[in-house]
Each structure stands twice: as C-alpha cells, then as structure tokens.
C-alpha cells in the first residue's frame, strides 16, 4: 500500500467527535456482518462440496469392495489386502470396543488387589485458591498472610476492545 494511500486512510479514520466515533462503530458493525455472511456462505458451499465428494468416494469404495471380495488377497495379522498398480485395497482388522462401567471395575480392582490399575490424579483448584487469596505485589498470600510459593503475579497492560450494541429497530445498517 502506498504512503499516500496510508496517509489518506489514516486521515479518514481519525475520530474527533462522538458522531465520528459512532459512525466508525457502524462501519465496524457492517464489516463484521459482511465477514460473517461470507463465512456462512462459504461454509455451506464447503459442506456441499464435501458431501458431494463423500458420496462419489463412497460409490467408488463400494465398487472396489465388491471387486476385493472376488480376487485372492493376502492376509497379515492386521489386514487382508490386494495390490494394484495404483495402490492397495484392504480390509483392516480392528481392535474390539469395550462397553465398561469404570466405577464397577475400579471398585472390583480395589477389592481384589488391582489398585495399581487405578489412577489418582492431584490437580490444583486454581479458581478456588485465587478466590481465597490476595495479590500483594508479584505474589499472592493466603488469609493468614503467608506467601504462597510457586505463583508469580504478572501485571498486564489493559487491552483495547470494541463491543457493539445491538442495532435499534429502524436504524440505518449501511454504515
């Protein structure tokens, strides 16, 4: 982008009054709406392309599977396969699924000497600790005033944000 164009855009975007700031908010709202509309359009388009491709691939795969059943194929521990000049068609053997009730299995393991198969996980409840503590400089302290080791408070600069209010009915939407 040329310097002249950048300077022109900078001048155009200078906000000096509430009216100009309001106008910029409306421009921002319109850009977001246009972006979201295009994203939604292209997501629908992508979904349609994926569905079309999946249907075509499924049709081809069914034909290849029928062919696979008619030819002698090799078998290994994990699959049956047939080699072709352009690739390999195969039936992969799968590991079984397990329908398990963890609570029942854990109780049985604890009663039968299998506790080593049960995980115990300690995890910091940071939200509760933070609520019960106070920030003092770069540290946090508990209710007794003791510094809690292992925590360093890092101050962060405020972050500028823009939040658009809902447009009023009948309000101009063209920005």
Question: Tens of pLDDT along the chain (175 residues)?
Answer: 688 777 777 777 889 999 999 999 999 999 999 999 999 999 999 999 999 999 999 999 999 999 999 999 999 999 999 999 999 999 999 987 889 999 999 999 999 998 899 998 889 999 999 999 999 999 999 999 999 999 999 999 888 787 778 877 765 555 4
SS3 37: helix
Confidence (pLDDT) at 167 = 77
Confidence (pLDDT) at 175 = 46
Structure tokens, 24:
């910029």
Radius of gyration of the chain from Cα atoms?
32
- In angstroms, rounded to a whole number, what is the distance separating the alpha carbons of residues 80 and 76? 6
Confidence (pLDDT) at 172 = 55
- CA angle (59 as vertex; 54, 60 as ends), nearest 5: 100
Q: What is the largest CA-CA distance in the chain?
A: 81
Domain-by-domain residue ranges, the chain? 1-95, 96-158
- In angstroms, rounded to a whole number, what is the distance separating the alpha carbons of residues 143 and 133? 6
- In angstroms, rounded to a whole number, what is the distance separating the alpha carbons of residues 52 and 58? 10
Neighbouring CB atoms inside 10 A of 4's CB total 8
Confidence (pLDDT) at 160 = 76
Nearest residue to 136 via CA among 115, 155, 160: 155
Per-residue CA distances from 111 to 82, 108, 119, 121 (Å): 50, 5, 15, 20
- In angstroms, rounded to a whole number, what is the distance separating the alpha carbons of residues 58 and 107? 45
Alpha carbon distance, N-terminus to C-terminus of the chain: 24
């Amino acid at each position: 982008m040329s310097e002249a164009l950048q300077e022109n855009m900078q001048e155009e975007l200078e906000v000096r009054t509430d009216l100009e700031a309001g106008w910029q908010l409306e421009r921002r709202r319109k850009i977001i709406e246009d972006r979201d509309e295009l994203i939604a359009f292209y997501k629908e388009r992508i979904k349609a392309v994926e569905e079309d491709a999946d249907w075509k691939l499924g049709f081809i795969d069914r034909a290849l599977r029928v062919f696979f059943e008619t030819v002698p194929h090799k078998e290994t521990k994990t699959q049956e396969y047939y080699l072709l000049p352009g690739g390999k068609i195969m039936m992969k053997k799968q590991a079984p699924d397990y329908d398990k009730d963890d609570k029942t299995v854990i109780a049985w393991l604890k009663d039968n000497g299998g506790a080593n198969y049960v995980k115990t996980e300690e995890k910091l409840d940071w939200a509760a600790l933070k609520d019960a503590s106070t920030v003092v400089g770069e540290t946090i302290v508990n209710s007794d005033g003791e510094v809690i080791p292992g925590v360093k408070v890092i101050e962060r600069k405020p972050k500028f944000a823009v939040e658009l209010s809902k447009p009023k009915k009948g309000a101009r939407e063209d920005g």
